[in-house]
Amino acid sequence: MQNKSIAQMAAELRLRTYSSVELTQHYLERIARLDPRLNSFISVARESALAAAARADQAIARGVAGPLAGIPIAHKDIFCTKGLKTSCGSRMLDNFVAPYDATVVERLAAAGAIVLGKTNMDEFAMGSSNETSFYGPVKNPWDAARVPGGSSGGSAAAVAARLCAAATGTDTGGSIRQPAALCGITGLKPTYGRCSRWGMIAFASSLDQAGVLARSAADAACLLDEMAGFDPRDSTSADVEVPDYVDALDDEIAGLRIGLPKEYFGAGLDDRVAASVQDAIKEYERLGATVQEISLPNSPLSVPVYYVVAPAECSSNLARFDGVRYGHRCAEPRDLEDLYQRSRAEGFGTEVQRRIMIGTYVLSAGYYDAYYLKAQRIRQLIAGDFARAFEQVDVIMGPTTPTTAFPLGAKTDDPVAMYLNDIYTIATNLAGLPGISIPIAPVAGLPVGLQIIGNAFQEARLLNVAHRYQHVTHWHQQAPTGFE
């Protein structure tokens, strides 16, 4: 059951082959049985999920069901869910029950999707391994000794382990694509502004974007169809027409011009990962695509630029967590300063505090120009590289990550080594472009992701390109042992 596509499930629910309550119970049972091995959920919303499933069944019976009616999904715990704990993976919000739904949550609910629970994540989405979560690390379903990637690691692991049909995630520097790659699933980060950020707890506002983690591009398209679109509550949401992503899946890709940035195939890339990526690209050539080398000369600077811009924005975004209106408050504060300093030091983990401090520093008097403004200028150059590339090619392809999933604890003592994991994904966030990671031939039993980057608002093209590959390959259907 859990291996069926969303389209198939939706069809069978409509045929009453099984009910949404049955489907939901099936997933809840899998979560109860299997998630202790993974720790991919922070909270499971059993009661509300079953109630919603019953409503979905009624809606289906009455013929008024939305496109995702009865499909059980999970939300990254960064999305506010009314009446459900929304922790953002942090002790700071361990006691926070959101008083409203994020737009993405609202839209998926309106389409009939069932929320099984909230998935684990790096604290405030800051991390690439899911080890910074207050709720403990998530394990990679392919190898429990390895990380699932981050920050949407809970969503990636849960989808890979078939604990939900699909899940939402957010991507600030690779947080959907990187865990999707490491867990062997499909992860789409849409164009900045494509999905509303309302109710999505902000990490770095100019980079954050909501997206999907799913088992296939087709499944991702089903969710994106519902999530995408203008939201008057988000000033940075784009008022750009939303195409039908499912409709575009089977479009012809013969003649597709693929650009391979030479900077994405240099030192630091695992040879075996490189070989797998090259194989996937050969498959595209067989499908009629043409390949050319391109250059994104400033892309090696994307990590340094990101570690100025993202912390700067986060230092300000996380200032609201002060122990006054919600969230963790220290015991017996001596005075106001003590209330702030201890509530924040106790509520935030080490990585979050590191980034807040870096961000505070780069914005502070005397450093703003040298760090923040400089980073923004290079950001402009990085965006310019992409603009030039897309004059020559339709999509850009390369590895999503330099290596397969690394062992838990391998990089926790070295923030810089951890940051370099996102070397291929960060530039797209800086430029605001969409990117997708799809599973390709694994290396030593561990998943490998192919990243496909498109021009702004070209999600339909990305899903189409990904889907045509998945049409002729089976990598996306592989399930980790024990979770089939």
Partner 1 sequence: MQWETVIGLEIHTQLATQSKIFSGAATRFGAAPNTQACAIDLGLPGVLPVLNQEAVRLAVRFGKAIGATIAPRSVFARKNYFYPDLPKGYQISQYELPIVGEGWVEIVLDDGTLKSVGVTRAHLEEDAGKSLHDASLRGGGYTGIDLNRAGTPLLEIVSEPDLRSAQEAVAYARKIHQLVRWIGISDGNMQEGSFRVDANVSVRPLGQTTFGTRAEIKNINSFRFLERAIQFEVERQIDVLESGGTVVQETRLYDAERDETRSMRSKEEANDYRYFPDPDLLPVELDVAFIVDAVADLPELPDSLRERFHVQYGLTEYDASQLSMTRELAQYFEAVAQASGEPKLAANWVSGELSAALNRSELEITESPVSAAMLAGLIHRIQDGTISGKLAKQVFEAMWHGEGDADSIIMDRGLRQITDSSALEAIIDGIITANPEQVEQYRAGKEKVLGFFVGQTMKASQGKANPQEVNRLLLEKLAPR
Partner 2 sequence: MSLDASDVEKIAHLARLAIAPEAVEHYAEDLSRILDLVAQMDAVETKGVEPMAHPLHMSQRLRADRVTEQDQRELFQENAPLTEDGLYLVPKVID
How far apart (Å, rounded) are the C-alpha atoms in residues 2 and 74? 14
Q: Is 206 in the site for partner 2 (CB under 8 A)?
A: yes
Nearest Cα to Cα of residue 45 among 105, 129, 3: 105
The tokens describing 482, both together, are 């024990």
Smallest separation, CB 201 to partner 2 (Å): 14
Coil, strand, or helix at residue 172? coil
Using the contact rule CB under 8 A, the part of the chain among 142-150, 264-272, 303-311, 467-475 near partner 2 is: 303-311
Residue number with CB closer to partner 2 (206 or 478): 206
Using the contact rule CB under 8 A, the part of the chain among 119-127, 235-243, 288-296, 461-469 near partner 2 is: 235-243
CB 141 within 8 A of CB 161: yes
The continuous run of DSSP H or E covering 213 comes out as strand 209-214
Smallest separation, CB 328 to partner 2 (Å): 8
The site partner of 115 among partner 2, partner 1, none (C-beta below 5 to 8 Å per kind) is none
Site for partner 2 in 21-50 (CB under 8 A): none
In angstroms, what CA-CA distances link 10 with 68, 109, 115, 131? 7, 15, 15, 35
Burial of 178 (0-12, 13-18, 19+ CB in 10 A): buried
Using the rule CB under 8 A, which residue among 146, 197, 215, 344 binds partner 2? Answer: 344
Q: Is 134 in the site for partner 2 (CB under 8 A)?
A: no
Smallest separation, CB 229 to partner 2 (Å): 14
Which stretches of the chain bind partner 1, using CB under 8 A? 79-80, 86, 88, 93, 96, 98-100, 102, 197-202, 204-206, 232-236, 312-313, 315-316, 318-322, 324-326, 336, 340, 360, 363-365, 368, 372
Pairing status of strand 435-443 against strand 395-399: unpaired
Residue number with CB closer to partner 2 (282 or 377): 377
**Chain-centroid distance, C-alpha 128:** 11
CB 253 within 8 A of CB 464: yes
Coil, strand, or helix at residue 412? coil
Q: Is 303 in the site for partner 2 (CB under 8 A)?
A: yes
Smallest separation, CB 305 to partner 2 (Å): 7
Using the contact rule CB under 8 A, the part of the chain among 10-18, 132-140, 252-260, 376-384 near partner 2 is: 376-384
The verdict on whether 76 is a catalytic residue reads yes
Nearest Cα to Cα of residue 138 among 271, 40, 65, 46: 40
Q: Is 266 in the site for partner 2 (CB under 8 A)?
A: no
Q: Is 94 in the site for partner 2 (CB under 8 A)?
A: no
Smallest separation, CB 339 to partner 2 (Å): 6
Smallest separation, CB 342 to partner 2 (Å): 5
The verdict on whether 411 is a catalytic residue reads no
Smallest separation, CB 426 to partner 2 (Å): 12
Nearest Cα to Cα of residue 270 among 137, 424, 415, 68: 424
The site partner of 397 among partner 1, partner 2, none (C-beta below 5 to 8 Å per kind) is none
Listing DSSP states for 19-59 in one string gives -HHHHHHHHHHHHHHHGGGT--EEEE-HHHHHHHHHHHHHH
In angstroms, what CA-CA distances link 50 with 21, 306, 310, 434, 484? 6, 41, 38, 34, 23
User: Which listed residue (20, 90, 155, 175) is catalytic?
Assistant: 175
Using the rule CB under 8 A, which residue among 61, 99, 266, 288 binds partner 2? Answer: 99
CB 178 within 8 A of CB 197: no
The verdict on whether 151 is a catalytic residue reads yes
User: Which listed residue (40, 76, 276, 315) is catalytic?
Assistant: 76
How far apart (Å, rounded) are the C-alpha atoms in residues 77 and 158? 13
Backbone dihedral angles phi then psi of residue 305, each to the nearest 5 degrees = -65, -45
Active-site residues, by number, are: 76, 151, 175
